[in-house]
Structure 1
Amino acid sequence: MTITSAMPRARKRPTQTRTKRVSSLPAIRLSQLPPSHIDLRDPLHAVLVCEDCKTLVPITGMGDKVQKLVPHHTGKAGEADAIRCRSSNRRIEFDMTIPEWCQALADAVKEASSRQATAVLPKAFSPQTDRTLRARAERTSAGRVADWNAVLPQVADADKNRQEVPAGDAPTEGPAVPLTTLHPKRPER
Structure 2
Amino acid sequence: MTMTSAMPRARERKSRTRTKHVSQLPAIKLTQLLPSHIDLMEPLTAAIVCVDCKTWCPITGMLGHVQKLVPHHTGKAGEAAAIRCRSSNRRVEFDMTIPEWRQALADAVTEASSRTATMVLPKVFSPQTDRTLRARAERTPAGRVADWNAVLPRVAAADKKRRAVPAGNTPVEGPEVPADTLHPKRPAH
TM-score by shorter chain over 0.5? yes
Aligned pairs for 1:1-189 within 5 A: 16-118=16-118, 120-126=120-126, 128=128
Normalization by structure 2: what TM-score?
0.58
Distance 2:120 2:59 in 1: 41
Q: Assess, with a 3 A threshold, how the Cα gap between structure 1 residues 75 and 91 changes in structure 2: closer, same or farther.
A: same
Distance 1:85 1:120 in 2: 46
Please give the root-mean-square deviation of Cα atoms over the aligned residues, in Å.
2.1
Name stretches of at least 5 consecutive residues in structure 2 with no aligned partner.
1-12, 131-189
Identical counterparts, % of pairs: 78
Aligned length: 118
Distance 2:42 2:120 in 1: 37
Q: Assess, with a 3 A threshold, how the Cα gap between structure 1 residues 14 and 88 changes in structure 2: closer, same or farther.
A: farther
Distance 1:22 1:117 in 2: 45
Query: In structure 1, the residue corresponding to 2:62 is in which secondary structure?
Result: coil
Distance 1:42 1:119 in 2: 38
Note the alpha carbon deviations across 1:151-186, whole angstroms, 9 max, x for none.
xxxxxxxxxxxxxxxxxxxxxxxxxxxxxxxxxxxx
Look at both structures and tell me which one has the larger radius of gyration over its CA atoms: 2
Distance 2:60 2:96 in 1: 17
Normalization by structure 1: what TM-score?
0.58
4+ long deviations beyond 4 Å: none
Q: Which has the higher contact order (CA 8 A, sep 6+)?
A: 1
